Amino acid sequence: MKKEVIIKLTKSFEEAMRMEDGVEYWTARDLQILFEYADWNNFENVIEKAKMACQNSKHKKDNHFRDVTEMVIIGAGNQREIPDCKLSRYACYLIAQNGDPRIDSLAPS
């Protein structure tokens, strides 16, 4: 992967970081866009693989993946709950490692 692409992805990743009670996290929905997944269901499968990798590495999954729901506005001002996940930096790493290598942002150099 070219140095310019790595710099751009790193910057985008750090800009997507959120803070809550002094703890950094990323949302799966934000990462889905950053990693160029068009379909949530496909990305959700990657998250599940990453959760298994987390457990296999003897880390507590709940320390890195927090399932949540978000309210989004749909037509005519109505709201609907959608699934999301709050992710640690390590969880993001595992998702990148378990992602589809055909996606440019995840392709190895």
Distance CA 85, CA 29 (A): 8
Res 106 pLDDT > 90: no
In this predicted model, what pLDDT tens digit does every residue of 49-87 receive, in sequence order? Answer: 999 999 999 999 999 999 999 888 888 888 989 999 999
Q: Domain-by-domain residue ranges, the chain?
A: 3-16+23-106
How much is the pLDDT for 72? 84
- State pTM to two decimals: 0.84
Distance CA 44, CA 35 (A): 12
DSSP string computed for 57-100: TT--GGGTEEEEEEEEE-GGG-EEEEEEEEE-HHHHHHHHHHS-
Distance CA 100, CA 39 (A): 13
In this predicted model, what pLDDT tens digit does every residue of 4-17 receive, in sequence order? Answer: 877 888 899 999 99
How much is the pLDDT for 54? 97
Higher pLDDT, 109 or 82: 82
- Taking residues 86-106, report their average pLDDT: 85
DSSP state, residue 26: E
The pLDDT mean for the chain works out to: 89
Report the b/e string of 64-94 with b at 16+ CB within 10 A.
bbbeeeeeeeeeeeeeeeeebbbbbeebbeb
